[in-house]
Structure 1
Amino acid sequence: MKQWIKRKGTVYTVIGLFIALVIMAAIIVFFTGGSPRKAVIMIPPGATEASVRDTLAKYYGDAYAGRVMQGASFIGGKLHEKPGLYDIEEGTSLWRVIWRLNGRRQTPVKFTINNQRTRQDIVNAVAQKFYFTPEALDSVLNDADEMAEYGLTPENATALFLNNTHEALWSNDPKRVVHRIGKAYNQFWTDERKAKAAKLNLKPEEVIIIASIAEEESTHADERGRIGRLYINRLQKGMRLQADPTVRFAMNDFTIRRVGRDMLMVESPYNTYRHEGLPPAPIRTVEPATVDAILNSAPSEDLYMCAKPDFSGYHVFTDSYSAHQQNALAYRKALNAKGIK
């Protein structure tokens, strides 16, 4: 009898172990199946369980999506409450997919500010990398208290955007993204740079505005510092800048190759032929190197500049108006010879 009971217990033990192994094997198979393909999964704020399942099914099919949702439910996860962007590589185990989504282990988003001209161009370029709208980002730029943290105003807020690459999370709200950009802006404006700007009787944002004009004037980085210094000279003498790029900006037409006399009369605070001083804000995002070139530029007597007639993109500089007229005449003849209007 005892032997029978012992034998029966052994059978139950074997059966129990077999069941446990089957369950463990099922769990391993369930959770370790690799993702069928690489995909970027985006779960927006306010998502529902059904919308998350649909997003997963779009890339992986209904069966795999169902396994992800079941696995998340098994550990008490609610993926629809975990907004973010998740870059899932092909072959990633099911368990790791669930671990990333449920733990909000997001893939950082890189976004680049690179020679955008208008405010709309800037907010569009940034917002397209995140879940929020350009309008939401613009509302932050219009917040006077927010901009005051960087010594700016809603009107000149675009000075915050230096050409650079930043990193943030897709689920960040626009205020946090602006703080990320603003942190880089504040780091750039060291005490040394601020002191150089002050020596020129300029605020940081004013140097950036001048840099934006210099970059629109020339594609050659090696003369932008001198161009910036020329405009500083004109400011200090109370002369209007009379910068052609500000006219193109005022007209919102960057295809204009030859600024005509009638264009000089367009009414806009950005038209430096009609208005004294600097435009209200930069006319493009600028390279930090251009700002440094202007801050470190050598003093000069330059007051006028004209493109060289060889179309090299370089300019002729002078402090003489009569010499400038001769330079301008030579350039106009070159334009006429090529039929450029």
Structure 2
Amino acid sequence: MNKVASSHSPNRRWRWLGGIFLAVVFVLAGTGLYAAWRVRWKPNVAVSPFGPAYLYIHTGSSFQAVLDSIRRQELLQEPETFVWLAEHREYARQVRPGRYRLEAGLGNDALLDKLMNGEQDTVAFELNAFKYKPQLVGQITPQLEANSTTLRALLQDDSFLRRRYQLDTTTVLTIFLPGPYRFLWNTSAEQFLDSAAAVHRRFWTPERRQRADSLKLSPAQVHVLASIVQRETAKPEDKPIIAGVYLNRLRQGMRLQADPTLLWAIGNFGVRRVLNKDKFVDSPYNTYKHKGLPPGPITSANRQSLNAVLKPAAHDYLFFCARPDFSGYSDFAATYAEHRRNARRYQRTLDSLKIRR
């Protein structure tokens, strides 16, 4: 009996040791798998109640600059695991600029794939009508990486504008069409101008160019006239009629005498009543003093205003005046005498309301 027991004890010991070994292996394997999961796949983007976060990487940024931004904005739950994997995958050699959307549930491996492949999120915004270059710069540079100083300089660089777009520092404003735009965040000032010019080219179809030719206007001149029409009225029904008035005046060699051009020249579009002294302002935009179109647009004309110029109403009107009911519509006249009657009605309403300016 003793011999039998002693003969089996080594086997029991080996089984016991084997069990411990397997347990250790399983523990180590489990620990390794957990470590791999934690470093590579565990959701690491910090959850925010305000929606997805964004990581902005400026052009020329180093790996350290990216880490500083991540830590400063507290974008990750465990930045140290991201650092370890980023170093292992040599992310420092492939830092790409852009605006990256960080969704909750994103792990380090997927995040590095996004960053290293340059899978950045685009920026969508509405370009609103503007009257002066600083207003354009003020709309664009907060949205994109484009440098405001560089953009201002390019808009004033006559040689660059003529070479690149066949425009000058005044007519360059005709290439900007108000409306929705979508850009990569790291778009430069020069790339922004190229994109705006591309939108402008797509607008000017062969049919629209033919219409401009039939009016004896260049595309830039259409933009200038459309900008005046746009400042004169917001009513779609009146735009083609007003465009027709100005085209009639141009054909007859009359001065446009457009009040909005005076307001652009004096830098005050809040004026409700143009005074005689305004008509003497020394500016090429003063269409009371100078014949023809002003040298550039007084606002960025939208598609509706441009199409109103390209498809003007046919009539004999040479004058128009805002209606005294402040409806936004205008009264039109073919003779100066009729126009004077319309103008007096409007002026009497302004007087009754004590509107002096």
Q: Same fold (TM over 0.5)?
A: yes
Judge conservation of contact 1:247–1:270 (CA < 8 Å) in 2: yes
2:273 to 239, 253, 258: 258
How many aligned positions are there?
341
**Equivalent in the alignment of 1:217:** 232
* Superposed counterparts of 1:296-335, under 5 Å: 296-335=311-350
Indicate whether 1:158 and 2:173 are aligned.
Answer: yes
Measure the CA separation in 1 of the matches of 2:345 and 2:232.
Answer: 18
Measure the CA separation in 1 of the matches of 2:82 and 2:132.
Answer: 44
**Equivalent in the alignment of 2:138:** 124
Measure the CA separation in 2 of the matches of 1:226 and 1:79.
Answer: 61
Deviations 1:207-241 (A, max 9, x none): 11111111111121221111112111111211111
**Equivalent in the alignment of 1:104:** 118
Measure the CA separation in 1 of the matches of 2:104 and 2:43.
Answer: 11
Indicate whether 1:26 and 2:40 are aligned.
Answer: no
Judge conservation of contact 2:174–2:223 (CA < 8 Å) in 1: yes
Deviations 1:3-39 (A, max 9, x none): x999989987775565344222211122322411351
**Equivalent in the alignment of 2:352:** 337
Deviation of the 1:335 alpha carbon:
0.4
**Equivalent in the alignment of 2:257:** 242
**Equivalent in the alignment of 1:82:** 96
23-32 or 330-339, which moves further after superposition? 23-32
* Superposed counterparts of 1:182-201, under 5 Å: 182-201=197-216
Q: Which amino acid aligns with 1:314?
A: Y
Judge conservation of contact 2:44–2:78 (CA < 8 Å) in 1: no
Measure the CA separation in 2 of the matches of 1:51 and 1:60.
Answer: 14
Shift in CA distance, 288/22, structure 1 to aligned 2, threshold 3 Å: same
Q: Which amino acid aligns with 1:24?
A: L
Judge conservation of contact 1:117–1:285 (CA < 8 Å) in 2: yes
Deviations 1:114-152 (A, max 9, x none): 111211111221122111222312333335454555443
Measure the CA separation in 2 of the matches of 1:66 and 1:253.
Answer: 56
> 3-state SS of the aligned residue for 1:222?
coil
Indicate whether 1:59 and 2:73 are aligned.
Answer: yes
- Structural RMSD (CA): 2.6
Judge conservation of contact 1:158–1:281 (CA < 8 Å) in 2: yes
67-76 or 200-209, which moves further after superposition? 67-76
Q: Which amino acid aligns with 2:202?
A: Q
- Identity level (%): 28
**Equivalent in the alignment of 2:105:** 91
**Equivalent in the alignment of 1:36:** 46
**Equivalent in the alignment of 2:308:** 293
Deviation of the 1:197 alpha carbon:
0.5
Deviation of the 1:68 alpha carbon:
2.4
Measure the CA separation in 2 of the matches of 1:216 and 1:66.
Answer: 57
40-49 or 165-174, which moves further after superposition? 40-49
Measure the CA separation in 1 of the matches of 2:336 and 2:132.
Answer: 32
TM-score, normalization by structure 1: 0.91
TM-score, normalization by structure 2: 0.87
**Equivalent in the alignment of 2:3:** none
Q: Which amino acid aligns with 2:46?
A: P
> 3-state SS of the aligned residue for 1:201?
coil
61-70 or 314-323, which moves further after superposition? 61-70
Shift in CA distance, 125/61, structure 1 to aligned 2, threshold 3 Å: closer
Deviation of the 1:190 alpha carbon:
0.3
Measure the CA separation in 2 of the matches of 1:269 and 1:66.
Answer: 63
Q: Which amino acid aligns with 1:124?
A: G
Measure the CA separation in 1 of the matches of 2:161 and 2:80.
Answer: 44
Shift in CA distance, 79/57, structure 1 to aligned 2, threshold 3 Å: farther
> 3-state SS of the aligned residue for 1:221?
coil
Deviation of the 1:89 alpha carbon:
2.1
> 3-state SS of the aligned residue for 1:332?
helix
Where do 5+ consecutive residues of structure 1 fail to align? none
Judge conservation of contact 2:44–2:77 (CA < 8 Å) in 1: no
200-209 or 53-62, which moves further after superposition? 53-62
Judge conservation of contact 1:144–1:154 (CA < 8 Å) in 2: no
Judge conservation of contact 1:72–1:79 (CA < 8 Å) in 2: no
Q: Which amino acid aligns with 1:277?
A: G
142-151 or 47-56, which moves further after superposition? 142-151
**Equivalent in the alignment of 2:296:** 281
Judge conservation of contact 1:242–1:272 (CA < 8 Å) in 2: yes
Measure the CA separation in 2 of the matches of 1:147 and 1:19.
Answer: 69
Measure the CA separation in 1 of the matches of 2:169 and 2:147.
Answer: 18
Q: Which amino acid aligns with 2:299?
A: R
1:207 to 206, 215, 222: 222
Judge conservation of contact 1:306–1:315 (CA < 8 Å) in 2: yes
Deviation of the 1:106 alpha carbon:
0.7
2:285 to 252, 270, 273: 270
Structure exhibiting the larger radius of gyration computed from Cα positions = 2
Shift in CA distance, 79/322, structure 1 to aligned 2, threshold 3 Å: farther
Shift in CA distance, 285/40, structure 1 to aligned 2, threshold 3 Å: same
